[in-house]
A and B are shown apart, each in its own frame.
Chain A
Amino acid sequence: MARVVILGAGISGHTAALHLRRSLSKKHEVIMVTPNSKWNWIPSNIWVGVGKMSTEQVTFPLAPIYKRKGIEFHQALGTEIHPEGSTTSNKAYVTVKYTDPARSGQITNIDYDYLINATGPKLNFAATPGLGPDGHTVSVCTPSHAIEAADKLQEVIALMKAGKKQRLVIGVGHGTCTCEGAAFEYAFNVEHEIREAGVRDLAEIVYLTNEFELGDFGVGGMTFAQRGFQTTSKLWTESLFRERGVTAILESHVEKIKPGVIHYEQLDGIKRTLDFDFAMLLPPFRGVDLKAFNKAGEDISDKLFAPSGFMRVDADYTPKEYEEWLASDWPNTYQSPEYANIFGVGIAFAPPHQISKPRKSVTGTVIAPSPPRTGMPSGVMGKTAALTIIDRIKNGDQREAHEASMADMAAACIASAGSGMRSGSAAAMTMYPVVPDHVRFPESGRSVTDTYGELGLAAHWIKYLLHFMFIYKAKARPFWFLIPE
């Protein structure tokens, strides 16, 4: 009998749990530890943030799904990993603190044979004073944040209907943020809603980003082949901004936010301010507050985790200049180099470096998008770790780990630019590989024919369809496993 414990029921951890339970017989245990009672399809939070969807449409309770599938569910926060056990037992275990209202605050230890760390990010609003729902800006990172954003948006729309001009700033709240794609989506959904409300001429919409150029999206931009020419995501994105009248401020690190004023620095080192009436700025991420201890009870967190708090896996973490980065720096198996029965997947794994070229301002401030590792790559990583564990439980610990490097992984991404079955639009993008490989693809680091972008109503329909497909899959309805990650 083997026991697999998964920390975190986001896209990566939940995917891993479902695949493990499907492939392992009932004599093996699959245990999910996650602090939230509900699963959230995060890509649709932007629609909650403009009032097009309710929280109920993007979430569902996890307990009934896990009960039906035979997955033991602990609504709790993983706080400690003890990979060598304790002085009294060699059995590895995790310490968890319950968030379940019935057992709130209780602490217990759960033994494991295999552990998947899929804890996702800590939303690090504290990195920028005044950032976030406890400060002066809103967010769409969680359904409750998105509801608040939608309410504030309605307030500024009401003011515009009363004839008052408003400035809406949407983007990222720190120089090292990721998820620029989500900020882009929210900016254009807000623009769409304001246009539909008939007050577009009274709104100044500003996209504030740490990207060096539009279309970077934290992946260093993309090069497409289109109608006999090579074009770039920069040109394509700039065209959309110009068409829709959205202003962009690039190369920015937000330093602090005071009521109605954003203080930011750009690569030229000049510190500027930007007044706002409404601001949705995403926070930077760091690893969750998870500690690790050896058998003697000594803190070994530095061995398991990078300084960012994300888990070290089989990547090459040797510090290198941008020109020396290789596709092979990126992990293949997501297995901890210290403990072969621990895996770090999704946002929880520590990337070896950025994908976009990192830059510093003349004063030394780092202004560099962090690499995105959400959505499709996240699900693939979760499944890959699950397949390795399944293989090892069935065939022995010496089995080779399954592999899925982001440098050999394709990704399809749909970025909404406005919701509506006849009036909506979205950008459909595919890229291969996610992490550029300049050895295989010397021109741009990616396959120019497989990397693709298209804007239109059809892409919105696909994003809408994916919303239902992935919730169906996450609910483990019949034949869920036929829907790819």
Chain B
Amino acid sequence: MIENSADLTGAPLPTKKTLKQRKNLPLQIWRFFALNIRMVKMIMKGTH
């Protein structure tokens, strides 16, 4: 442990469910399309 390192003890740890969801194929396929749509919207916003 490095003495002057940032104190991360208050940072929220993801639950087992959250960690599973991050790798869950059907959910991630859905998130892939949802994120792409969000990013295209942002690109449109940034190039008016």
Contact = CB atoms under 8 A, between A and B. Distances in A.
Q: Do A and B bind each other?
A: yes
Interface in B1-40: 1-2, 4-6, 8-14, 19, 21-23, 25, 28-29, 31-32, 35-36, 38-40
Interface string A290-302: 0000000000000
A166 B22 CA distance: 29
A372 to B, nearest CB: 15
Most buried by B among A270, A430, A459: A430
Contacts of A376: 43, 46
A485 B43 CA distance: 8
Question: Which of the four size classes fits the interface of chain A?
Answer: 35 or more
A350 B6 CA distance: 32
B46 A239 contact: no
A241 interface: yes
Contact of B28 (A239, A409, A456): A456
B48 to A, nearest CB: 8
Interface residues of B, number: 31
Contacts of A238: 6, 8, 10-11
Contacts, number: 103
Interface string A237-260: 011011100011110000000000
A410 B32 contact: no
A458 B35 contact: yes
B46 A411 contact: yes
B11 A242 contact: yes
Interface string A418-460: 0000110100101010000000000000000010101111110
A161 interface: no
A462 B22 contact: no
B23 A455 contact: no
Contacts of A458: 28-29, 31-32, 35
A19 to B, nearest CB: 13
A26 B28 CA distance: 47
A266 B2 CA distance: 14
A380 interface: yes
A242 B42 contact: no
8 contacts: A238-B10, A241-B6, A247-B1, A249-B2, A376-B43, A411-B42, A423-B23, A462-B36
Q: Which 5 A-B residue pairings sit nearest by Cβ, starting from the closest? A: A410-B46, A238-B11, A458-B31, A458-B32, A456-B22
Given A412-B39, A457-B22, 19 more contacts: A213-B6, A238-B11, A239-B12, A239-B14, A241-B6, A241-B11, A242-B13, A249-B6, A376-B46, A408-B46, A410-B42, A422-B23, A423-B23, A425-B23, A430-B39, A457-B23, A458-B32, A459-B31, A462-B39
